[in-house]
Structure 1
């Protein structure tokens, strides 16, 4: 049985630090490669997770990420910020890891 390879997918999120991240771009194959190329050109951190991309690619452009994914995306955003040497206001990167509940209020 010949299985077709899964198309290469990519998504882009925008996060302003105030609202939930929103989906700003999504695409398969050539469009996915163009999204990744732009990210590299502008030194936007790239996080590869095919399963997460499949979930987020079902959203419409401009949609905020679902509440169920807040924790996952918060960890990815925090990692991306650290790569760029950025930290939230009042955060002391030398204080060591701190366990925090980042579950949004209901």
Structure 2
């Protein structure tokens, strides 16, 4: 049996937010749409199955919990790095 695709989108504004927030999440067709929209708008995509499995449990607008800070920091570092290379 094939595992359903999962996706989550995060937002973080340094100095304005205490922690990144989940702004979209989903599985299956919803996940595919999240990825499609990210690509269309030039939003960097980082694949991390462990992290996304935890993020999809959060509600949209919810800040990530402290136990996910380290994992999300790695993702944000990849995103900022890819943006600088453009």
Same fold at TM > 0.5: yes
Moved over 4 A (4+): none
Mean Cα displacement is larger for which, 43-52 or 71-80? 71-80
**Is the aligned partner of 1:60 residue 2:52?**
no
TM-score (norm 1): 0.73
The two structures, once aligned, show a CA RMSD in angstroms of: 1.3
TM-score (norm 2): 0.89
2:23 corresponds to = 24
- Considering fraction of residues, name the structure with more helix: 2
Mean Cα displacement is larger for which, 24-33 or 73-82? 73-82
1:42 corresponds to = 41
Whichever of the two has the greater Rg, that structure is 1
What are structure 2's unaligned runs of at least 5 residues? none
Tell me the secondary structure at the aligned position of residue 58 of structure 1.
Answer: coil
1:83 corresponds to = 82
What are structure 1's unaligned runs of at least 5 residues? 87-106
**Greater relative CO, 1 or 2 (CA 8 Å, sep 6+):** 2
TM superposition shift of 1:79: 1.6
Tell me the secondary structure at the aligned position of residue 23 of structure 2.
Answer: strand
Which of 9, 14, 30 is the aligned partner of 2:11? 14
